Amino acid sequence: MPPSHAAPLARLDRDPWAARLPHETRAALLAALRPRLYRRGEALFRQGEAAAHFCCLLEGELEVSTVTPTGRAHVLTHLFPVRWFAEMSFLDGLPRSHSVVATRESLVAAAPRAKVLRLMETHDALYRGMVGILCENMRLLFMRVDEFQKRSVEALAANTLLNYVPDARAGAVEISQTTLASLIGASRQSVNACLSRWERAGVVARSYRRITVTDLDALRRIAAA
Amino acid sequence: MPPSHAAPLARLDRDPWAARLPHETRAALLAALRPRLYRRGEALFRQGEAAAHFCCLLEGELEVSTVTPTGRAHVLTHLFPVRWFAEMSFLDGLPRSHSVVATRESLVAAAPRAKVLRLMETHDALYRGMVGILCENMRLLFMRVDEFQKRSVEALAANTLLNYVPDARAGAVEISQTTLASLIGASRQSVNACLSRWERAGVVARSYRRITVTDLDALRRIAAA
DNA sequence: GCTAGACTGTCGAATATTTGACACTTCCGC
DNA sequence: GCGGAAGTGTCAAATATTCGACAGTCTAGC
């Protein structure tokens, strides 16, 4: 489905975070947002750049990644709409810790940092709201670290897949095996072998760039093991 | 060295975070802090409890851990003085995500949440300062996730050790191999084998509950590999 | 519609890691 | 000072994972 050009910010009407802001604050923030369409593969910003915007993904999908000092790129996670992001750099003013790239055509609304900072001077709720987003993301990150203390590809793949299921339609997670492997830092072959085993057991179905979860409970059991 | 009972909060004189607060704000926060001595093994609070305090470790060492739904305990990290903590639960008011236990006799100053919240109403710098701590810790956590995308015990152990070196005296990291293994989610035997190899190569020296790094550059090279 | 580039499925050999076992050491608390 | 709990060093067998290779499939973009 192509992103809607007519009323780009319309999707924010149903965003629970924005809804919790005072009416006037919310209106002021929305007025500062500038929507922009990104093509597949296009970068929103790169690791190391200065924080310049507070952003919201309205449609599409974004990939958050880092390059290690040695040059290898690691995918941290993917973002799905509606999702506010880039709040950490915004709040502490330090350079971006990650690169963000559109993995498909995506609609992103961005508010310039200077403008939002000025807004915050009079709208305290905006600052507090952003801290709320930060806390939420930090709790997710803690869960992520927890998952990594299981080292088997089986458990890691199951956990990662489960994290993506909420953003999937009908249990079909649109992710390549190669990317899934990169998310957990394993080789694509071992991930493939794992999925192959699961398919034989009737837990998932594989197809090109897509994994369909057919037995969610079984997957959960594998993830917990 | 036994914690000093005379002027427990004296160590905060040289804490850079507190120093950055406005004089009056800093004084008000310090007035709200109540120092308490914890014995080895004693818990400050448990995962799932309500946020009740904003805390600062003055002396000793704390262990941050979770219990997974299956009941297995995982060590997330250790805290060393001077270190403010418990800011996430404080800011979002949600239950503690981790348990915190003293691994040796430790001096901790804690300020009741209600009192600090009241303080924040008039001292905005306190709120902003706490958000600064949160951002800092989140960036550390991001680095942690990054490290986990290397899966070899060798690289994980090296990275973890490097993280602990700044808190060590003369390169001697006081940590049991068993705990190190739990930090990276590997078996103690493979960690031991790894350390044994490093010792033969002259990178570290092993002794009871202590690992002394003798060739920091070599360790860094291993961590990056 | 074609085609280059990306993704998948699978193999065997080479490594790395876990597991269970056992003897030994260190140190904390009584 | 002693006893028990916790930690260490090492082993061999069983598993799990990586790596290199190769043939085949899919699809975005021209």
pLDDT tens profile B156-190: 999 999 999 998 888 899 999 999 999 999 999 99
* E-assigned strand segments in chain A: 34-38, 43-45, 53-59, 62-67, 73-79, 83-85, 99-102, 106-112, 172-173, 204-207, 210-213
Percent of chain A scored above 90 by pLDDT? 86
Partner-chain residue, chosen from A132, A141, A224, that has the shortest CB–CB distance to B145 = A141
Nearest C-alpha neighbor of A87 from the set A67, A116, A65: A116
- Tokens 């190391």 belong to A48
Buried b or exposed e, range A139-173, using 16+ CB within 10 angstroms: eebbebbbbbbbbebbbbbbbbbbbbeeebeebeb
User: In angstroms, how far is D28 C1' from A102 CA?
Assistant: 15
**E strand or H helix that includes residue B112:** strand B106-112
Q: How far is CA A76 from CA A26, A101, A182, B144, in A?
A: 30, 12, 9, 11
How far B2 CA sits from the closest chain A CA (Å)?
Answer: 33
pLDDT at B70 > cutoff 90: no
Question: How many angstroms separate the CA atoms of A35 and A57, rounded?
Answer: 9
Q: What is the pTM (predicted TM-score) of this model? A: 0.93
> What pLDDT, on the 0 to 100 scale, is given for residue B35?
94
- Chain B segment 184-213 residues within 8 A of A by beta carbon are 184-186
Residues B109-145 have pLDDT tens digits of 999 999 999 999 999 999 999 999 999 999 999 999 9
Residues A1-48 have pLDDT tens digits of 444 445 778 889 889 999 999 999 999 999 999 999 999 999 999 999
- Chain A segment 122-161 residues within 8 A of B by beta carbon are 131-132, 134-139, 141-142, 144-146, 148-151
Question: What rounded mean pLDDT belongs to chain B?
Answer: 92
Average pLDDT over residues A45-56: 95
**Is B6 within 8 Å of chain A by CB?**
no
> What pLDDT, on the 0 to 100 scale, is given for residue A10?
86
Question: How many angstroms separate the CA atoms of A113 and B81, rounded?
Answer: 34
Question: What rounded mean pLDDT belongs to chain A?
Answer: 93
> What pLDDT, on the 0 to 100 scale, is given for residue A4?
45
User: In angstroms, how far is C14 C1' from A151 CA?
Assistant: 21
